[in-house]
Amino acid sequence: MAEDYYQILGVNRSAAPEDIKKAYRKLAQKYHPDKAKGNKKEAETQFKKISEAYAVLSNAEKRKQYDDFGSQEAFRAKYSQEDIFRGLDFSDIFDTGISEGIFGRIFGGLGARGSRPGGGRTRVFRYGAPEGYHDMGAPIKGEDLQIEMPITLHEIAFGAEKPLSFARGSQPEKLTVKVPAGTLPGKRLRIPEKGRPSPTGGPPGDLYVKLKEVEHPVFKRDGTDLYVDRHIRFTESALGTKVTVPTLDGKTMSLKVPPGTNSLTKMRLKNYGLPHATGKTRGNQYVRIVVDIPDTLTKKQKNLLEELAKEGL
């Protein structure tokens, strides 16, 4: 399970920038591989973790992004390691010579200001990579882009191929985005190498298309289940009735409402909801019965209800 950057530094989520710097300085002195006592390899691993946490939380923009994403996995999907450390100045934490030495050694040439000597950037360490992996001198990937794209319930249910126009730098771009059936709103579709160009000749960034649901005039969605209301009269709730119900498939179903049905009773149409991501099963459609109580009564209606009241109804 990925660790939380705040937990790594031992600070709370409302910590001020000076508290974050103070916490990092204290931990960096403790785990500095050249100064740590005991297991040097473990100290180096901890030093990498706290340095990454500090690189993110000491930058206001990256910290906000991390707080919005809520996890390391989601944050790292947007920011590569070189993005995380880019432009960070460790020289106010350590002596410049010391910081150049340590970051150059364990981060594959990364200097005190998040760059390689001579100004070139490098991809820094990656957890779980083979021993000695540093990707030295690798060109920087371009920035990722994210665009919202509206999607209807019908397109969620049955899939779609949607045209998309966006600006990529100064150039307009057009492409067709394939949305598989069952892709729920909020999901991001990744289109490789359609982000911003690399500033150093590396591969372009990726384009992430975030699906935003368009409100349907009839159906409401809850996960893969659909809800629709059907209104009946008071007498129909007491005596029973039938209602016609539309489905997203374009069918019209006849649904029997038993006598004595209370208002807000939910009736299920099995497998008439949205498909699950596997494509093998579907959610359900629920029909909510709403009993309408009249605001005003005619004299005859009032007399009839009074008679019913006398009969114990």
Give the pLDDT confidence of 135-160 residue by residue, as tens digits.
444 568 888 899 999 999 999 999 99
pLDDT of residue 131 exceeding 50:
no
16-38 confidence digits (pLDDT tens) = 999 999 999 899 888 887 776 77
Highest-confidence range of 7-21, 119-133, 159-173, 299-313, by mean pLDDT?
Answer: 7-21
How far is residue 123's CA from residue 103's CA, in Å, rounded to a whole number?
12
How far is residue 79's CA from residue 3's CA, in Å, rounded to a whole number?
16
177-207 confidence digits (pLDDT tens) = 999 988 889 888 999 999 888 877 788 889 9
Please report, to the nearest 10 degrees, the dihedral formed by the alpha carbons of residues 87, 88, 91, 97 taken in order. Answer: -70
Please tell me the predicted confidence (pLDDT) of residue 118.
37
Are 274 and 282 spatial neighbours (Cβ–Cβ below 8 Å)?
yes
pLDDT, mean over the chain? 81
pLDDT of residue 133 exceeding 90:
no
Amino acid at 29: Q
How far is residue 183's CA from residue 279's CA, in Å, rounded to a whole number?
10
Residue 100: enclosing H or E segment and its boundaries?
helix 96-106
Are 65 and 79 spatial neighbours (Cβ–Cβ below 8 Å)?
yes
Highest-confidence range of 70-74, 134-138, 172-176, by mean pLDDT?
Answer: 172-176
Two structure tokens written together for 63: 């910290």
How far is residue 230's CA from residue 266's CA, in Å, rounded to a whole number?
10
Calculate the alpha carbon distances from 148 to 67, 182, 188, 193 in Å: 20, 18, 9, 17
Please tell me the predicted confidence (pLDDT) of residue 115.
44
pLDDT of residue 308 exceeding 90:
no
Name the residue among 129, 148, 229 with its Cα closest to residue 187.
148
pLDDT of residue 84 exceeding 60:
yes
Two structure tokens written together for 261: 């049905």
DSSP annotation of 136: T
Q: Band of the pLDDT at 129, cuts 50, 70, 90?
A: very low
Neighbours of 153 (CB within 10 A): 19
Overall average pLDDT of the 260-286 stretch: 90
pLDDT of residue 120 exceeding 70:
no
Q: Band of the pLDDT at 2, cuts 50, 70, 90?
A: low
pLDDT of residue 102 exceeding 80:
no
Are 275 and 249 spatial neighbours (Cβ–Cβ below 8 Å)?
no
Q: Band of the pLDDT at 94, cuts 50, 70, 90?
A: low
Please tell me the predicted confidence (pLDDT) of residue 42.
86
225-246 confidence digits (pLDDT tens) = 999 999 999 889 999 999 999 9
Are 196 and 147 spatial neighbours (Cβ–Cβ below 8 Å)?
no
Overall average pLDDT of the 167-178 stretch: 86
Please tell me the predicted confidence (pLDDT) of residue 123.
35
Please tell me the predicted confidence (pLDDT) of residue 209.
93
Q: Band of the pLDDT at 93, cuts 50, 70, 90?
A: low
Better pLDDT: 20 or 94: 20
Task: Look up the pTM and report it.
Answer: 0.52
